[in-house]
Amino acid sequence: MTTWTARLRDISDFPKPGILFKDITPVLADASAFAQAIRAMAHPWRQASIDAVVGVEARGFILGAALARELDVGFVPVRKPGKLPGATLSLDYGLEYGRDRLEIHVDAMRAGARVIVVDDVLATGGTLKAAVHLVERQGAIVVGTGVLVELGFLGARAAWDHGAPLHAAVVY
Ligand code: AMP
């Protein structure tokens, strides 16, 4: 059996020169690799009594929704501005160049809900951190965070200042 990590594909200079993009689409396209990857992401949380998985647009939706089914809990999307139809809570955060914003439905989770926040790739960590802050501002408890791939050489884990565990299914 091929391990799922063999299906991860590196694409150079995407979306701009100098970036080595970790493409997860071959993992998703292979039923066995996709199942292994989701089980690897689910592993730390099976006994954690979580109420929901929060996924960050866009690849965090694909993995997060599959992970929510695997853990038999609900899924909550965190989206780019202007995409969610209901009343939202939003949070601005800094990027390397400029700023961005994430939004969540105000009624997506009850206060005190135990959630994990997931995305596909942890690079600088800015996106995941912003999603965590947004969820916490809503009164939910972030039990942990998870990514499929951590780009360890970027040092996000060393700078990670949230108390809950940060799990990566694979680290490069
Ligand atoms: P960051 O906020 O720097 O941790 O960036 C994380 C977000 O950007 C995630 O949503 C990833 O999907 C995407 N991303 C950043 N760097 C890469 C990369 N090298 N390969 C694939 N996705 C990336």
- Residue-wise pLDDT for 87-129, tens only, equals 999 999 987 678 899 999 999 999 999 999 999 999 999 999 9
Q: Average pLDDT of the chain?
A: 96
48-171 CATH: 3.40.50.2020
- Residue 64 predicted with pLDDT over 90: yes
Q: Is 125 in the pocket of ligand 1 (CB under 6 A)?
A: yes
Diameter of the chain measured on Cα atoms: 46
- Which of the following is catalytic: 57, 59, 103, 150? 59
158: preceding bond cis by omega (within 30 degrees): no
- Residue 2 predicted with pLDDT over 90: no
pLDDT tens digits, one per residue of 13-38 = 999 999 999 999 999 999 999 999 99
pLDDT band with cut points at 50, 70 and 90 for residue 61: very high
pLDDT band with cut points at 50, 70 and 90 for residue 153: very high
Half-sphere exposure of 33 (CA within 13 A, CB side): 16
- Which of the following is catalytic: 7, 9, 46, 96? 96
Percent helix, strand and coil across the chain, each rounded to 5?
35, 35, 35
Listed by start position, the domains of the chain span: 48-171
Give the contacts of 150 (CB within 8 A, at least 6 positions apart). 121, 122, 156, 157, 168, 170, 171, 172
7 part of the active site: no
